[in-house]
Structure 1
Amino acid sequence: MSGRAAGGGERLSYFEGYRAIGAVVVVIFHAYQHNRDPVTWHWPLEGTTWHDLLRATDLVVDLFFVQSAFLLGRPYLRACLDGERRQHARAFLVRRAARVLPLYYTAILLVWAISNPILPGDWPDLLLHVTFTQTFSQAKIFYTNGPAWSLAVEMQFYLLLAVLGALAQRICGRLRHRSARLAVLLLGIAVLAGACDGYRLLAVSAWRLPDTYWPAWFGLPAKLDVFAAGLLLALLAAGGVRLPGAAARRLVGAAGIAVLVGGSVVRLRPGFPETFVHGVYGAGCALVHGASVLGGSHGPRWARVRWLVALGGMSYSLYLWHEPVLRLLDSHGLLPERGTAAGFGFTAVLLLAVSLPVAWLSYHAVERTGQFVARAFDGEGRRREYYRPLPDLPAPPQIRDVTEVLSLRGRLPAGTWPTRD
């Protein structure tokens, strides 16, 4: 969620357009989820196609994961393949921390403080959230700020990428041929995806974990193949793979949409383990992005509209603040009775109307601060020295009369001036 498309300049500005739509869709889904009947847990539109579409919107989180893996993995893969600028783990983690932590900690600490007015409060919940480990807790994974679980998964992926990126650069640096380096990277990505699918098979078939055991299905091990899809796309782009023309771009994009639709249909089958659908969604999102990334285009025109790109820039704030806003509106009795389609529509409109200004304020007051913090570190993750001491200047030569001053003109070091004996 928190990755930025800045690394690709204008060519990847459409990533922000996708991210904007995704964040709005998440807000709408949570408004829908909030309007389940409090007694029967019946969904307002259950039994309709609209209900199935809204349930499938969780693919948006997979879209965020694919984008993050592509944008953050691409510099590492370029360095491995072509020996471009070496990526330093410390610099990478510093940039990620500057991007994620200011807003994340602001939202978590504020919501927790309001929810726990009497100390010590639910300090285990706070500890889990500030360490990004809530995804390991069945009781606390969605506490304080529900959508923050995906930020915990992303932060865990950043740590994994820093370790694997350093290892991959070391291994590839010892290989002479580019084809050998490419094969090693492909194998590494395949191992990530395979480990994820193996974990899912064990969780479903051997361990028989229930669908409601959230740490099993919302943790990093269950999402690795989604990240692997983004890394594979980044590797293809770094490896120079290009689609031959507009027809090929349309074909790949259509294939991605077909995969997403197919995954949404398959998950409706009774008894089908939904966890496997997210790997399918990851592949579909990678194909949709690949149509533009590998086709050399600037992406869909609609995704590059200026206001949509601007909304994508503050989508991280919208994503983190909308649930606390929803809870605040509900606690003040501003939302309609739950269980009706009309109530869902009103909730969605009101939630967007309030959350968007909050997100705008949060972006300018909090997120941009993190961007300035990131600039205080160099490419190796070290603090920039803005006030280095000036080097020692040579002692000025001694003169006896004006003729010596004239003879020294043009030969004195900058910043020196002769003094009279």
Structure 2
Amino acid sequence: MPQKQLSTRYMPGLDGLRAIAVVAVIIYHFNPQWLPGGFLGVDTFFVISGYLITSLLLTEYHNTQRIDLISFWMRRLKRLLPAVIFLIMSVLILTLMIVPSEIKAVRGDAFAALFYVSNWWYIFQDVDYFAQFEVAPLKHLWSLAIEEQFYLFFPILLFMLLRYVKRLKPILYTMIGFIVMSIITMGILYEPHGNVARVYFGTDTRLQTMLLGVILAFVWPAFKLRMQTARQPRMIIDGLGVLSLVGLFLCFRFVNESQNALYFGGFGLISLLTLFIIASAVMPSGLFAKGLANPLFLYIGSRSYSLYLWHYPVIVLMHHHFVQGQIPMFVYVIDALLIVIMAEFSYRYVETPFRRSGFKIFDFRHLKQWRLLNVKRAWLMIILLVPSVVILSGVFNGLAKDNTHTTAINTEDMKQYMTVPIPLGDMKIDGLEVKGQTSPYANWKPLLIGDSVMVDIGDAFKEKVANASINGLIGRQLVQAIPLIREDYPDYREKDDMVVLQLGTNGDFTDEQLDTLLDLLGESQIYLVNTSVPRDYQAHVNELLKQAAKNRDNVHLVDWHARSQEHTEYFAPDGIHLEAEGVKALIDEIIQTIKAHQK
């Protein structure tokens, strides 16, 4: 007896879930302090993609006993590629106009995006995803690259399993095995307090979330669900959906990228919540599904792809002109308006028409009849394509700036600034004046340990305090200073010793870790520089430093956070690193604090 043919259906609840995911990502990129875990919205997209694509492929195999791979790949390209090409061309031109010094880097990103290998490109470039305020307006396309790679290889694997293995349990065990391997790979490759590019961008390490969606498609087939479900099971499934959605919201609010647990199975565990949300969202008669399918969510969800494409370039190119953490609210309003306008334009005039009609939406034969919509699209394509090809050819590469930090020296794969006091034998005596010792701080011999902000102020601080020893390392976290002091500076423990610690820019720490660091310095006079950093951990870091200064007589707070508020001229666009005025201000704050507590 032939099998009953299955038909696909539109599932508006999934569009509602897409709306939630894309809004979370956009809020995170507006300001990570508003929604620290908003980046997890990308994982929600991954789970949805795994579920939906597998559901469609299983339905096709059920109906025809085959999977037309060529047709599947063409549908995916037709659905995704035109909007990406429109975005890339626009971003190349806008970058050249707005930030020409970054055009070479963006050109490289554009090539990677066109071939859907952005994630590996950023891995090889050692790009930090969470350093989101650098001018890299195409960096968000890493997730699309992973999805396209998944779409390329997964249908082949699925077809082979369906054709030769056939039984459900072995297939599910195979998927679970791949998930476990992905989680283990992420855990092995993860380096705490280091750059997470390899584990965050890796196709192998992020496969876990998409495969969870694949498993759900087998055990909860969307196109086999009954249109009507009994009241009690429906209530249970709706309840699980609501509770899981609340759990996902809590993750958005309280999870952050620096939590180690994320990289030891955390991404997978959080994605399990999405499975329950999807299971409830696709149930035809569910009240939860109907709630997700409200008109606002449907509008956002149907345009989630275009919103995702356009939100990051708009934010990056707009915020480049302001100091992060001190951006006026009207800028966010303009951001939102531009994102909606560009996403709507892309959805209505590029994405949807091409999906329906392909290249017929362009009319290059009647270019003089510019009032026709298809002719207008053709002219737009020409206007964008010509300068884009010129940019991609490398003509404007000479405008690129040298990104090397002027105060840093390379030590293997790190950027570090280190100095030692001026040796006595290097001093010159002219009468009664000792050259290099005329400063009012000539008798100071402080040790300064810090991160990239310390690198920023290194040269200028030495001009003020010639006998200072400075050790600044880009990316350094507080816990990394513990072995440094233990091994390299064990003699700084006496009452006459002076130590300045500028740590906390790159991540949070615990009070136990701070106590360990301070205990190593014994009775030294310790000056803790607090942070001004547009990250969610800023408040906690500054509170710990404040309490340490209150609880220890030999520890004093350098309140850089208070000094720097409302002074956008102090900062580079990232809101962390310092311009010349900021260097002067921070050095002055350190020196004035030391003077105030000198005995």
TM over 0.5: yes
Distance 2:352 2:278 in 1: 27
Distance 2:116 2:313 in 1: 18
Task: Compute the TM-score of the two structures, normalised by the length of structure 2.
Answer: 0.50
Residue 232, structure 1, aligned to residue 232, structure 2: no
Distance 1:84 1:255 in 2: 38
Distance 1:265 1:307 in 2: 22
Q: Which residue of 2 is the match for residue 381 of structure 1?
A: none
Which runs of structure 2 are paired with 1:234-313 in the superposition (5 Å)?
234-238=217-221, 245-254=233-242, 256-257=244-245, 260=248, 267=255, 272-275=260-263, 276-293=265-282, 296-297=285-286, 299-313=288-302
Which runs of structure 2 are paired with 1:9-88 in the superposition (5 Å)?
9-10=9-10, 12-33=11-32, 45=33, 51=34, 54-78=35-59, 82=62, 84=64, 86-88=66-68
* Count of residue correspondences: 335
Residue 369, structure 1, aligned to residue 348, structure 2: no
Give secondary structure in 1 for the equivalent of 2:212.
helix
Q: Which amino acid aligns with 1:15?
A: L
Distance 1:9 1:103 in 2: 24
- Whether the 8 Å contact between 2:27 and 2:38 is mirrored in structure 1 is no
Distance 1:149 1:229 in 2: 20
Q: 1:203 aligns with which of 168, 189, 201?
A: 189
Larger radius of gyration: 2
Distance 2:126 2:346 in 1: 25
Do the aligned partners of residues 267 and 311 (structure 1) sit closer, same or farther apart at CA in structure 2, a change above 3 Å counting?
closer
- Whether the 8 Å contact between 1:199 and 1:222 is mirrored in structure 2 is yes
**How much has 1:216 moved relative to structure 2?**
2.2
Distance 2:311 2:257 in 1: 32
- Whether the 8 Å contact between 2:314 and 2:339 is mirrored in structure 1 is yes
Q: Which residue of 1 is the match for residue 146 of structure 2?
A: 153
Give secondary structure in 2 for the equivalent of 1:327.
helix
Q: Which amino acid aligns with 1:90?
A: I
Q: Which residue of 2 is the match for residue 100 of structure 1?
A: 80
Q: Higher relative CO (CA 8 A, sep ≥ 6), structure 1 or 2? A: 1
- Structure with the bigger percentage of helix: 1
Distance 1:124 1:199 in 2: 28
- Whether the 8 Å contact between 2:306 and 2:347 is mirrored in structure 1 is yes
**How much has 1:257 moved relative to structure 2?**
3.9
- Whether the 8 Å contact between 2:248 and 2:274 is mirrored in structure 1 is yes
Give secondary structure in 2 for the equivalent of 1:9.
coil
Q: Which residue of 2 is the match for residue 358 of structure 1?
A: 342
- Whether the 8 Å contact between 1:256 and 1:288 is mirrored in structure 2 is yes
The alignment-based identity, stated in percent, is 22
**How much has 1:365 moved relative to structure 2?**
1.4
- Whether the 8 Å contact between 2:137 and 2:316 is mirrored in structure 1 is no
- Structure with the bigger percentage of strand: 2
Q: Which amino acid aligns with 2:195?
A: T
Distance 1:369 1:268 in 2: 39
Q: Which amino acid aligns with 1:226?
A: T
**How much has 1:300 moved relative to structure 2?**
3.4
- Whether the 8 Å contact between 1:223 and 1:279 is mirrored in structure 2 is no
Distance 2:12 2:234 in 1: 20
Greater CA deviation, 191-200 or 135-144?
135-144
**How much has 1:201 moved relative to structure 2?**
2.6
Distance 2:328 2:205 in 1: 31
- Whether the 8 Å contact between 1:98 and 1:373 is mirrored in structure 2 is no
Do the aligned partners of residues 290 and 345 (structure 1) sit closer, same or farther apart at CA in structure 2, a change above 3 Å counting?
farther
Task: Compute the TM-score of the two structures, normalised by the length of structure 1.
Answer: 0.69
Q: Which residue of 2 is the match for residue 186 of structure 1?
A: 172
Q: 1:212 aligns with which of 166, 174, 195?
A: 195
**How much has 1:202 moved relative to structure 2?**
2.0
Do the aligned partners of residues 262 and 195 (structure 1) sit closer, same or farther apart at CA in structure 2, a change above 3 Å counting?
farther
**How much has 1:346 moved relative to structure 2?**
3.8
Distance 2:293 2:235 in 1: 21
**How much has 1:106 moved relative to structure 2?**
1.6
Q: Which amino acid aligns with 2:44?
A: L
**How much has 1:255 moved relative to structure 2?**
5.0
Q: Deviations over 1:195-252 (max 9, x none)?
A: 2112123213xxx476423132222212111111111111112396888623321342
**How much has 1:135 moved relative to structure 2?**
1.0
Q: Which residue of 2 is the match for residue 396 of structure 1?
A: none
Give secondary structure in 2 for the equivalent of 1:87.
coil
Gap runs ≥5 in structure 1: 1-6, 34-44, 46-50, 176-180, 377-421
